[in-house]
Amino acid sequence: MMLKFNAQMANTPNHNEQLSGPIGRRQFVIGSIMAMAAGAAGLLLSHFHRMDHHDHVEHMEGTESRRDEFNRTLKRAERFRENPDAWWEEHREQLLVSSPQIYGIECVDEGDDLDKFLPTAGHALPKNFDVISVPGSGVQYPGFAEDLRNLVGTEHIMGVTSHKDCGACHGKDDLAVSHAHKLAAALRVPYLGHVETLQRPDYHVALGSNLRYTKKVRNIRFVEDAPRYFDATQWCLSDRAARVANIRLMLNIAYHHGFNELFIEEKIPFELVVWYDPKDPVHTKDSAADEIQEAFRQADLPDELRSTKGLLKLTFMEVS
């Protein structure tokens, strides 16, 4: 059974004290979940307050080809974005898992597809293969090795990878490689290689993020007509701040090293898809929404995004 929850932007009274602060009248508020017809529910998001950050929307050359790529990527994501319920019904059998998987450790990057890379690097994919995607394979999160031991178990880890031009490593390939080697050594699992050929141009094309708060759903991109989104394996991180930082990083990358101002110009919302298990007491729909809210407040985003309705979309996918 799966329900979908779409977020809507709406003017909402500032009633959440926890979020109040010296940030002005406009608040980013995720209100209580409200029941709606047909098993769906909505989240209320207010207008967003303006952060005290500099805007540095890039005006790169090659905007036209980027616009073409934007339209192609959007086309590919269309079916999911228009009707995630129907999309999930078609693919749930392939994506739902009930037993421990064998995991490759990778980045959240939408281009470092390990199911494509590993066979070319001489590593056969196990039948029950999944990935654990954390920015820079955890380069910014010191607790990652410990979490992998406790929440995954090293016997379920196939190995660790790194990739070219990693945003979490500030584009430094040597840092990406050395971190992945260190993590692999700490876990006593193999280092599986450096993904040189990314399944994306030299900028990011993710139109959203799959925030997997449950291990019951594998990497969404493993099915052919999945949207090309960032993949973030939030369930394997015990530290809330690390999960928030992941979301913040993905938002920053999408708006500064991705389609940037095209999201605003074309009025296409970046989509955060929360995959969660309603029976999980650790990662609930509400706790995930809180983390997104905090990341949004912290991220360095264009003013228009904070002041215009409908430019960010939340979709909640119940997995059970």
Task: Report the C-alpha gap between 292 and 159 in whole angstroms.
Answer: 29
What's the CA angle centered on 234, arms 233 and 238, to 5 degrees? 130
- How far are the Cα atoms of 53, 238, 248, 311 from residue 293, in angstroms, in the given order? 17, 18, 10, 14
CB of 22 to Zn ion, least distance (A): 33
Q: Is 130 in the site for Zn ion (CB under 5 A)?
A: no
CB of 253 to Zn ion, least distance (A): 9
- Residue number with CB closer to Zn ion (160 or 166): 166
CB of 133 to Zn ion, least distance (A): 9
Q: Is 7 in the site for Zn ion (CB under 5 A)?
A: no
CB of 252 to Zn ion, least distance (A): 13
CB of 61 to Zn ion, least distance (A): 24
Q: Is 109 in the site for Zn ion (CB under 5 A)?
A: yes
CB of 176 to Zn ion, least distance (A): 7
R_g over Cα of the chain: 19
CB of 166 to Zn ion, least distance (A): 3
Residue among 108, 9, 7, 106 at smallest CA distance from 310: 9
Q: Which stretch binds Zn ion (CB under 5 A): 74-82, 105-113, 143-151, 154-162?
A: 105-113
Sequence-distant (≥ 6) Cβ neighbours of residue 119 within 8 angstroms:
125
How many beta carbons lie within 10 A of that of residue 80, not counting itself? 22
Residues 172-231 close enough to bind Zn ion by CB under 5 A: none
* Number of residues lying near Zn ion (CB under 5 A): 4
- Residue number with CB closer to Zn ion (13 or 171): 171
CB of 105 to Zn ion, least distance (A): 12
Q: Is 134 in the site for Zn ion (CB under 5 A)?
A: no
Task: Give the containing element (helix H, strand E) for 91.
Answer: helix 84-95
**Among 107, 158, 192, 299, which residue sits at the site for Zn ion (rule: CB under 5 A)?**
107
3-state secondary structure 175-186: HHHHHHHHHHHH
- Residue number with CB closer to Zn ion (85 or 173): 173
Q: How far apart are the first and last CA of the chain?
A: 6
- Residue number with CB closer to Zn ion (77 or 139): 139
Residues 136-175 close enough to bind Zn ion by CB under 5 A: 166, 168
Tell me the per-residue interface mask from 232 to 271 with Zn ion, x by CB under 5 A, - otherwise.
Answer: ----------------------------------------
Q: Measured in whole angstroms, how far is the alpha carbon of residue 200 from the centre of its chain?
A: 16
Per-residue DSSP letter, 231: E
Question: 248-260 burial, b for 16+ CB within 10 Å, e for fewer?
Answer: bbbbbbbbbbbbb
- Residue number with CB closer to Zn ion (184 or 311): 184
Interface residues toward Zn ion, by CB under 5 A: 107, 109, 166, 168
